[in-house]
Every structure is written in structure tokens, then in C-alpha cells.
Chain A
């Protein structure tokens, strides 16, 4: 279950994780994702696809294994870089937009520097993902596709080295889904961001990914 790349941005080596001792969700998972590459994770429900993304993001700690980003060790036996210092962006299935903030304020959240400059950059990102005209609206007043685009713009705000997309296009009608997906991966590739997409849709995985990784469901001991 190893994929290789000449100069990977994201390296995952022999990662093992379980919620209880002796009950591994997965074991020995390895990934190498290069600059501008997209890897898709496929597998049955409950095999740990989303959990692997959470491990890369630092939202969970693995039982063992090593995760690196641009040669910086993020997770190892004794090392654990907290989520806010990893340079990893994520788009959740339920997006996690801040409901009390406007679209532009959501995107500004992760942009450091003077407020005026941050606002200008947030607006630019919203324009790039195609929702520039909805900058001042709160998430509750946006359509499903617009909300996803805002979530992508927000994740791009801090200029991450790695982008994780956890079923980020679920629930969209098929034509819209294709359009949003093509736009998003176009932007990610053009910026050289290494991306990992979790999806249930094999056709989608084949269509957008440079590599498809299948996680098996481990038999529980």
C-alpha cells in the first residue's frame, strides 16, 4: 500500500492506529504525495480513510509510524507537531464553516498580517474559487456549492503545503459536483499543493487522482 514519488511533500510511513489496544483500525499505511499531486483514498466504510486524514492533520495521534511534510517530522515516536503548526489544510464533509462569520471573515480567519491586507487576500481567494460576489454573506445564506467553495478558500488562506479533502463534494448534485471538483483541483494543482481526497466514488477517484490508494478493512481481533 505504498505509492512513490520522486520528491514527495507528504510522506506517511507505516502508520498504525486503533481506538483500543489490540484492535487496529489500520496498520502499515504508507503514502508519498508529490507537489501538485492528488491521491485518492478509497475503501469500505469504517476502514479508516477519514481517520488517516485526521492523523495527517494532527487531530489524532497514531499508535506508531511517521508522518513528514517537506522533510519536517510532524509525527514520530517522540515528536508531535500540534495541528495549528503543521501547514496542513482540511476540508471536512460537513465543512465546519463558522456560522457566525461572513464568507470573507471565514477566509480571513487563517490569514495572518494586517487586517486590511488579510481582507484583500481573502476576497481574492473567494474570487479565485468563484464566490467573490458572496463575500459578505454568512454560510447560512449560501448554496451547498458556494459553501464548499468558501471552505476551500478558507483552507487555502494560510497557504498550506498539504490539502486534505474528506468527502468534500458529498451531497452536491452531479453536474455541480463535477464543476466544483474540477475548479478546486485545478487551483490545488496550479499552486503545487499536495492533496489527499477521501471519497466513496470510484469514478471520481479515477477522474481526479494521480494515484488511487485502497484501504482494506482489517479483521478485528
Chain B
């Protein structure tokens, strides 16, 4: 937020504070409703869960989180270091291609790998064809296990760590690293003793994002039959039919996740406050000789093959080989629904984020800061938890509106309306929009505010005539990233969608659950196509940074 506060009239200030509080109430309300459920009677569901399933859910969540974090570190950090410090065959392409796994949602990679490693799958058939079925059975792991889910999630989420590590290695002070070399440490020793410790806060921030995504994951854990708290919330809601029980189970997740989110935000602030006056390493890289160069290429290619090439190629093969007529008939409707709902949600999130960021700029104070902070928490909370909160909150609002004699308005906010679905997306993704919008507004010099005010422009005029034109590129990037996030989102859509309303994610989930993966492959690839856009945008940020001093990465 800007250090200086331009003078704003009292009435304007009051309006900004009110708008900010309304937005945060809209998106944080469902979370408050979830936490408030602790005081309600679940009809014995909670005690039943606590006695029977809670320990399994907690253990599954913790085990999956640890395994995924270890896997993502192994897959991301060595390539990030190699690509930051050395030139070798393919390094230019690999530098941005390492972000491509972001385009593949974990649950889609899980569908592909499960089919690939199935008892009658292509991998097993290939090994049988070699006549070494027994000796090479270990090459075909069972993907519907904790280990399988961890491999899938690590190979699709590692780009969060890769991006953070890449930026950190680039921004490291050149003199510190050169000093390490001159004090007797070789390249590897310097990497371990100087570069890695310096990059640790950024890597930790990337890992926290991976951790939050893992804990929030529903589709992969559900498909791989891993019991986690997130899948437990969904099963309690669907199987036991208890919203209160599901909400109470959700509180077990919400409180530690908000703690993690606060830690991530703190790490992000620390990264932004590092010394900017020293000479940074930037894009200075050393050429590697041939044998070592090829090893480096292989080390960087392996995560990309695992997280992008194998699932996408396998799904493409499945899609081409799919002969069912039904495999094509639903695709236009599901695509149109996806496009419509993702556009609405992304546009609404960008508008709401502009309101919150502008309020923080024009009406600096505790109220706007608190609104800003509360509006970000949803990103740390799993989709099923948010959906439960939205259902409870919307039911209360809808009931109150009907009671007040406003049935038309009440039906707009009913469970199963498009408006409710978009509200659910806002709760989950407004934090992402805020990160991009804040980054765009922070680049605007506060003195332009002062200059515009002296020319007689009010805060709304300043926003419309100065801020929005200057921030439009950042807002557009935020819109595209959000659009792709909403396209991939599964549990909120599954639980809050209107009757007979299917997006690509929902259709793919239902088909894959019915073991009709050939039909699901088309939807999976279409979603991957939407996801390529933000991956390409982040890749462009990395490439562009080669010619600039520092990389501005929005802190999600």
C-alpha cells in the first residue's frame, strides 16, 4: 500500500470504507458461517466422525501434504538453480516450459496416470509385450494410493516452487555469490552454502502455496481414494446429508489454513522488502560442457515429462481413440457453460478486488486493512468447505428475504442459482485477484494521486481516469489467471451449480468416476488449453525479467 495518503473528503472516505466492508462481508461471510457452526447441534454426526473417521482424515491430509511438499521441492529446486546459473541444450525453452504443468489440474493428471498404470493399461501391456511382466512389475505402480496421489500432485504443483525459486536465484546479490567463490567454495558448495539459504524464504513461500493447494485438493484425493479432511467434508455433506457436520469438520481445516495463509503473506512481505540497491545475478549464466549439459537437460526435462507431457499425450491418445458418439455431444454446452461462468466470476473478482485495493488507497485505516485481509483468506480454504459455508449463508439470506416479502430477490440468492455459484468462486479466488490488482496499483506512484487531486479530481475520477488506465495490464493478467483457475475448479462447481448445469470440470469428473476416461479426455484437454494461457503469461514474466532488474511476482 502507498506510504502517503492523499486527502479524501469525509463522505468519499465513508463510501470507500462501506464498500470495502460490504465486499469482505460477501466473501468472508461463508467462512464465518462455517466457524460459527461449531456452536450448532449436528445431530450426533460430529461425534460419530470424531470417533470413526477424523483420525484417518487428519493423517491422510498430513501425509499427503508432507509427501507432496518433498516431491515438489525435489522436482522444482534443482532445475530452477540449473536454469538460473547455466546454459545447456534446451535451456531457453525449458525455462518457460517448466511452468506448463500449471495448465494440468491435479485430478486430470490423476485420471491419465491411473488409466496408464491400470491392470489392462498401456504401460502394463507394453511390459507384458516385452515378456518381463514379473521382473518389471514395479514399473507400473498402483496410482490409487497415497503415494500415487502424492506423485500426481507434486508433478502438477511443483511450478509454484519453481517460479518462486527461479525469481529468488535471479535476484540474489551477485557480490555475495562471487564472494562465496573467492572464499574457496566451488560452484556446488556455493549453491548449497550461499544460494540455497538465500533462496530459502522464497522456496518456503512457494511450498506454502503447494501445501495450501494440496490440502484444498478434492479431485485428486477423491479419485486416488485417499481419505483427507477435504474429501471428508464432501462425503459428510453428500453421504451423511449433514451440512452442520460437514461445516464442523471444515473448522478443523479452516483455522490452521488461515494461520498458514498469514505466514505466506508475511513471507511475501519479507521477500518484497529485500535490499534493492545491490547488483543482482540476473541472467548471467555459464555454458556447461556436453556431458554435463545433457545431464542438466535431462534433470530439467524429467519434471516436465512427469507433470505435462505424459498426461497430455495420454489424454490426447485417449481422445483420438474415443469412438463413442456421446463423447462429442455434451462438449459444446459444457464449454459454453464453462466460458460463461468463468468469465462472470473472473470479471466480478477483478471488479471487487479494485474496490478493495482502491479503498485501501483512498481510505487508509484499520477497517479497510481488515477488509482486505479477510477477503484473502478464502484462497487458503478448500472448495468443499467454502461450498458448505456458502450453502449455509445463502440459505439464511434467502430465508430472510422470503420472510421479508421479497421472494424474487430471495430466489436469486437461492442455493443452486448462478449468482450463488459466482459468490462461491469469489470467496475462493478473490485473494488471487487481490494479489494481481494490488501489484498493479503498487506500481502507480502516489505522487500521481497528489497531482490529480490538486487538479480537482475526486477519488472516483482518479480511479477511473488515472489508476485504471495505468493498471489495466495487471488487471488483465489477473482476469486471465482467475479465468483459468475457475475453469479448473471442481468441488465448488460440483456442490453449488444450478440443476442440470455442467462445466467441463464437472463433466470430466463424472465421466472419469464412471471409468469413461476416453470421453472425459476431450474435456480434460479443453481445460488444459484454457490453463495454458496463464502458464504462458508467467513464462513471459520470466523471459521479460531477463532484460530488467527485478521480477515483480504477485504474492498469491
Interface residues of A (CB under 8 A from B): 57, 59, 82-86, 88-90, 92-101, 109-110, 112, 154-155, 157-158
User: Is A88 a contact partner of B175 (Cβ separation < 8 A)?
Assistant: no
Q: For the complex formed, measure the closest distance between the CB of B245 and the CB atoms of chain A, giving whole angstroms.
A: 46
User: Is A84 a contact partner of B181 (Cβ separation < 8 A)?
Assistant: yes
Name the one of A57, A90, A100, A155 contacting B197, with C-beta atoms under 8 angstroms.
A100
User: Is B179 a contact partner of A158 (Cβ separation < 8 A)?
Assistant: no
Q: How far is the CA of A98 from the CA of B50 in the complex (A)?
A: 49
Please indicate the chain A residues that have their CB under 8 angstroms from the CB of B180 in the complex: 98, 109
User: Is B178 a contact partner of A83 (Cβ separation < 8 A)?
Assistant: yes
Q: How far is the CA of A1 from the CA of B98 in the complex (A)?
A: 50
Assess whether B285 is interfacial by the CB under 8 Å rule. Answer: no
Please indicate the chain A residues that have their CB under 8 angstroms from the CB of B194 in the complex: 98
User: Is A154 a contact partner of B279 (Cβ separation < 8 A)?
Assistant: no
Q: How far is the CA of A99 from the CA of B168 in the complex (A)?
A: 14
Which of A82, A90, A158 has the most C-beta atoms of chain B within 10 angstroms of its own C-beta? A90
Which of B181, B185, B193, B277 has the most C-beta atoms of chain A within 10 angstroms of its own C-beta? B181
Name the one of A82, A92, A95, A110 contacting B183, with C-beta atoms under 8 angstroms.
A110
Q: A90-B179, A109-B193 are in contact. Are A96 and B173 (CB under 8 A)?
A: yes
Known pairs A96-B175, A158-B183; list 19 more (Cβ under 8 Å).
A85-B184, A89-B182, A90-B179, A92-B178, A94-B173, A94-B278, A95-B175, A97-B176, A98-B179, A98-B194, A98-B197, A99-B275, A101-B197, A109-B180, A109-B193, A110-B184, A110-B185, A112-B184, A158-B184
Assess whether B198 is interfacial by the CB under 8 Å rule. Answer: yes
Please indicate the chain B residues that have their CB under 8 angstroms from the CB of A57 in the complex: 178, 182
For B177, the closest partner residue in chain A by CB is A96
Q: How far is the CA of A139 from the CA of B277 in the complex (A)?
A: 15
Q: How far is the CA of A24 from the CA of B200 in the complex (A)?
A: 40
Could you tell me how many residues of chain B have their Cβ less than 8 Å away from some Cβ of chain A?
A: 23
User: Is A84 a contact partner of B176 (Cβ separation < 8 A)?
Assistant: no
Q: How far is the CA of A83 from the CA of B177 in the complex (A)?
A: 11
Q: For the complex formed, measure the closest distance between the CB of B202 and the CB atoms of chain A, giving whole angstroms.
A: 12
The 0/1 profile, CB within 8 Å of A marked 1, for residues 271-306 of chain B is: 000010111000000000000000000000000000
Assess whether B407 is interfacial by the CB under 8 Å rule. Answer: no
For B198, the closest partner residue in chain A by CB is A100
Query: 14 A–B contact pairs at CB < 8 A?
Result: A57-B182, A84-B184, A89-B183, A90-B179, A96-B178, A96-B179, A96-B278, A98-B197, A99-B176, A99-B275, A101-B197, A109-B193, A110-B184, A110-B185
Assess whether B92 is interfacial by the CB under 8 Å rule. Answer: no
Interface residues of B (CB under 8 A from A): 173-186, 193-194, 197-198, 200, 275, 277-279
Q: How far is the CA of A157 from the CA of B185 in the complex (A)?
A: 13
User: Is A92 a contact partner of B179 (Cβ separation < 8 A)?
Assistant: yes
Name the one of B179, B186, B197, B200 contacting A82, with C-beta atoms under 8 angstroms.
B186
Name the one of A85, A89, A96, A158 contacting B176, with C-beta atoms under 8 angstroms.
A96
Please indicate the chain B residues that have their CB under 8 angstroms from the CB of A97 in the complex: 176, 179
For B275, the closest partner residue in chain A by CB is A99
Please indicate the chain B residues that have their CB under 8 angstroms from the CB of A89 in the complex: 182-183
Q: How far is the CA of A84 from the CA of B198 in the complex (A)?
A: 20
Q: For the complex formed, measure the closest distance between the CB of B77 and the CB atoms of chain A, giving whole angstroms.
A: 17
Q: How far is the CA of A217 from the CA of B445 in the complex (A)?
A: 38
User: Is A83 a contact partner of B193 (Cβ separation < 8 A)?
Assistant: no
Q: How far is the CA of A101 from the CA of B179 in the complex (A)?
A: 14
User: Is A109 a contact partner of B173 (Cβ separation < 8 A)?
Assistant: no
Q: For the complex formed, measure the closest distance between the CB of A153 and the CB atoms of chain B, giving whole angstroms.
A: 12
Please indicate the chain A residues that have their CB under 8 angstroms from the CB of B197 in the complex: 98, 100-101
Please indicate the chain A residues that have their CB under 8 angstroms from the CB of B175 in the complex: 92-96
For B194, the closest partner residue in chain A by CB is A98
Please indicate the chain A residues that have their CB under 8 angstroms from the CB of B279 in the complex: 94
Q: For the complex formed, measure the closest distance between the CB of A97 and the CB atoms of chain B, giving whole angstroms.
A: 7
Q: For the complex formed, measure the closest distance between the CB of B219 and the CB atoms of chain A, giving whole angstroms.
A: 38
User: Is A90 a contact partner of B182 (Cβ separation < 8 A)?
Assistant: yes
Q: A94-B277, A94-B279, A98-B194 are in contact. Are A59 and B184 (CB under 8 A)?
A: no
Q: How far is the CA of A57 from the CA of B197 in the complex (A)?
A: 24
Name the one of B173, B181, B198, B200 contacting A83, with C-beta atoms under 8 angstroms.
B181
Q: How far is the CA of A147 from the CA of B1 in the complex (A)?
A: 31
Please indicate the chain A residues that have their CB under 8 angstroms from the CB of B184 in the complex: 84-85, 110, 112, 158
Please indicate the chain A residues that have their CB under 8 angstroms from the CB of B173 in the complex: 94, 96
Please indicate the chain B residues that have their CB under 8 angstroms from the CB of A82 in the complex: 181, 186
Please indicate the chain A residues that have their CB under 8 angstroms from the CB of B278 in the complex: 94, 96
Please indicate the chain B residues that have their CB under 8 angstroms from the CB of A95 in the complex: 175
Name the one of A84, A94, A99, A112 contacting B182, with C-beta atoms under 8 angstroms.
A84
Q: How far is the CA of A199 from the CA of B182 in the complex (A)?
A: 21
Please indicate the chain B residues that have their CB under 8 angstroms from the CB of A99 in the complex: 176, 198, 275
For A59, the closest partner residue in chain B by CB is B178
CB-CB nearest 6 A-B residue pairs: A96-B175, A110-B183, A92-B175, A96-B179, A94-B278, A83-B181
Q: How far is the CA of A93 from the CA of B193 in the complex (A)?
A: 22
For A100, the closest partner residue in chain B by CB is B197
User: Is B182 a contact partner of A98 (Cβ separation < 8 A)?
Assistant: no
Q: How far is the CA of A99 from the CA of B274 in the complex (A)?
A: 10
Q: How far is the CA of A155 from the CA of B182 in the complex (A)?
A: 8
Please indicate the chain B residues that have their CB under 8 angstroms from the CB of A85 in the complex: 184
Q: How far is the CA of A93 from the CA of B173 in the complex (A)?
A: 12
User: Is A98 a contact partner of B198 (Cβ separation < 8 A)?
Assistant: yes
Q: For the complex formed, measure the closest distance between the CB of B156 and the CB atoms of chain A, giving whole angstroms.
A: 31
Please indicate the chain B residues that have their CB under 8 angstroms from the CB of A110 in the complex: 182-185
Q: How far is the CA of A86 from the CA of B185 in the complex (A)?
A: 11
Q: For the complex formed, measure the closest distance between the CB of A24 and the CB atoms of chain B, giving whole angstroms.
A: 21
User: Is A109 a contact partner of B178 (Cβ separation < 8 A)?
Assistant: no
Q: For the complex formed, measure the closest distance between the CB of B482 and the CB atoms of chain A, giving whole angstroms.
A: 35
For A90, the closest partner residue in chain B by CB is B182
Q: For the complex formed, measure the closest distance between the CB of B185 and the CB atoms of chain A, giving whole angstroms.
A: 6
For B175, the closest partner residue in chain A by CB is A96
Q: How far is the CA of A19 from the CA of B178 in the complex (A)?
A: 19
User: Is B183 a contact partner of A154 (Cβ separation < 8 A)?
Assistant: yes
Q: For the complex formed, measure the closest distance between the CB of B353 and the CB atoms of chain A, giving whole angstroms.
A: 33
Q: For the complex formed, measure the closest distance between the CB of A43 and the CB atoms of chain B, giving whole angstroms.
A: 20
Q: A109-B193, A110-B183, A112-B184 are in contact. Are A90 and B198 (CB under 8 A)?
A: no
Q: For the complex formed, measure the closest distance between the CB of B406 and the CB atoms of chain A, giving whole angstroms.
A: 59
Q: For the complex formed, measure the closest distance between the CB of A125 and the CB atoms of chain B, giving whole angstroms.
A: 13
For A98, the closest partner residue in chain B by CB is B176
Q: How far is the CA of A216 from the CA of B174 in the complex (A)?
A: 27
Which of B174, B176, B183, B184 has the most C-beta atoms of chain A within 10 angstroms of its own C-beta? B183
Q: How far is the CA of A3 from the CA of B191 in the complex (A)?
A: 38
Q: For the complex formed, measure the closest distance between the CB of A67 and the CB atoms of chain B, giving whole angstroms.
A: 14
